[in-house]
Amino acid sequence: MTDQPKKTLQLRQKPAADKPAAPRAPVRPRGPARARPLAEVQAERAAREAAWAAQNPAGGERRPHPDADRGAPQDRRAGPANRGAARPGGAGGPGARAERPAAGGRSERYAPAGRPGAPAPRQRTDAPRDAAPRFQPDAPRPARAPRDLRPDPARVGKAKGQHLAPSPGSARPPEGVPPFLGRPGEQLIRLNKRMAELGLCSRREADEWIARGWVRVNGQPAVMGQPVPPDAQVEVLPQARHQQAGQVTILLHKPVGYVSGLPEDGHESAAVLIKPQSHWRDDRSGRRFEASHTRGLAPAGRLDIDSTGLLVLTQDGRIARTLIGEDAGVEKEYLVRVHWAPNGPKGVGVVTQDVQAAFPRERLALLRHGLSLDEQPLRPAQVDWQNPEQLRFVLTEGKKRQIRRMCEQVGLHVVGLKRIRIGRVVLGNLPVGQWRYLGADEQF
């Protein structure tokens, strides 16, 4: 068997070009574009106009149309030449059409210049093309008519959230927005605020219901931001009632180390404790836990990270308004363990036992009424001794760290704080870290 030579595949190299391609000339000189002066542009334009006027003297005869010698186009339509006679009314009647020239005839449009029936040629003038008046930047502008800067009384009221009904001669509301209800000059209020005042829902829920079309005012569908008078008839559709019936309110015995709202400074929110494992076994509400019950829970009231006790988490805006609204006056009861520290908790003279005997009585009266926080006087409070080292507070407001700051002003140092009641709902035997539902028969 003879050996056959091995074949190898070789790639041919592409021959190099004999001459390099010449660089393409730039469209304009290199470098940044330079704005030409206005005088230079105007001088160049005037030179062009003068050259054109020299080549085309005035009075020259206009060239005839290129189709002038060919004759008019043939009528390609079927039927008689005079179509107007076929229309009702006869020739010259209301339905008649203008007669067209016969085949081979010439119309005025196609007649050569200088012949009978031809239009007179237009005479050119020596006036430049830009003889029209131009915009003069330095010319004074015409004065504008004065505008009425007074606010619209239909949208601006005397107080926040209030409006005034417009006068009979005021402008109409925009399309899609119902007219303002009420008499001229009557104070109006936003619909969501009015619904919250009536106890129907919170303002946020009202906006959601209005957007879904579940609210009617005097029988008409409501719109977002609509102002209404106090005597307006507000109707809520059954869909909104059904959604509200599925909302829950949860009572939690918050332990120390959890914050009431969103997580902060590395501390978890108390809402993470709402899970089936921490549901109190003795809950008598009859509700069964669902995953949807943890969505949209909001704390209705503060409870500091160093405090424990009853914390309300709710999906119902009505309960949130009742507890923390602007005009809320629900009582909240606390048990507070204190030390007598007139020179601070690390100063001299700290008393930890039988604090009641060392604490001056006039300062106890100051705790009940007479203190201010953030330059605002506090409401009267009920403050009594529960035992020699523990006070009982009953407040109707809830400022940030209110009890601790009140005690600091009278020389007391808080070492323990527990909330045991909100309105008519008590903490009871609910264990620390566990929760239960608010019963249908319970109200704050």
- Residue 167: predicted pLDDT: 43
How confident is the model over 63-73, as a mean pLDDT?
A: 49
How confident is the model over 33-54, as a mean pLDDT?
A: 84
- Residue 19 or residue 165, greater confidence: 19
- Element housing 339 (H / E): strand 332-340
395: helix, strand or coil: strand
Residue range 181-234, pLDDT digits in tens: 555 556 788 888 888 888 888 788 888 889 988 899 988 899 888 898 888 888
Q: What are the Cα distances from residue 259, in Å, to 189, 254, 300, 322, 407?
A: 36, 9, 13, 22, 22
With CA atoms as reference, report the closest residue to 251 among 203, 211, 303: 303
- The two tokens of residue 45 are 């334009």
Give the CA dihedral 348, 352, 358, 363, nearest 10 degrees: 90
- Residue 193: predicted pLDDT: 87
Give the C-alpha separation, 313 to 210, whole Å: 25
Structural domains of the chain, ranges and CATH numbers in brackets: 179-245 (3.10.290.10), 249-437 (3.30.2350.10)
How confident is the model over 283-312, as a mean pLDDT?
A: 88
With CA atoms as reference, report the closest residue to 253 among 303, 324, 317, 314: 303
304 is catalytic: yes
What is the 3-class SS of 239-279, one letter each residue? HHHHHHHCCCEEEEEECCCCECCCCECCECEHHHHCCHHHE
Binned at pLDDT 50, 70 and 90, residue 154 comes out as very low
pTM of the model: 0.56
- Residue 368: predicted pLDDT: 93
Reply yes or no on whether the pLDDT at 59 is more than 70: no
Q: Residue 444: how many CA atoms within 13 Å on its side-chain side?
A: 26
- Residue 115: predicted pLDDT: 55
Q: Which of 164-178, 222-236, 328-342 reaches the highest mean pLDDT?
A: 328-342
With CA atoms as reference, report the closest residue to 271 among 435, 52, 94, 411: 435
Give the C-alpha separation, 279 to 290, whole Å: 12
Out of 152, 231, 304, 327, the active site residue is 304
Q: Residue 339: how many CA atoms within 13 Å on its side-chain side?
A: 15
How confident is the model over 39-53, as a mean pLDDT?
A: 88
- Residue 358: predicted pLDDT: 92
Average pLDDT score over the chain: 76
Query: φ and ψ at 243, to 5 degrees?
Result: -65, -40
Reply yes or no on whether the pLDDT at 163 is more than 70: no
How confident is the model over 315-343, as a mean pLDDT?
A: 88
Reply yes or no on whether the pLDDT at 174 is more than 50: no
- Residue 376 or residue 80, greater confidence: 376
Reply yes or no on whether the pLDDT at 128 is more than 50: yes
- Residue 327: predicted pLDDT: 74
Binned at pLDDT 50, 70 and 90, residue 293 comes out as confident
CB 52 within 8 A of CB 90: no
Percentage, residues of the chain above pLDDT 90:
29
Binned at pLDDT 50, 70 and 90, residue 335 comes out as very high
- Residue 38: predicted pLDDT: 84
Reply yes or no on whether the pLDDT at 242 is more than 70: yes
Residue range 75-86, pLDDT digits in tens: 444 444 444 444
- Residue 2: predicted pLDDT: 55
Give the C-alpha separation, 279 to 273, whole Å: 9
How confident is the model over 244-257, as a mean pLDDT?
A: 90
Percentage, residues of the chain above pLDDT 70:
63
Reply yes or no on whether the pLDDT at 319 is more than 60: yes
Reply yes or no on whether the pLDDT at 58 is more than 90: no
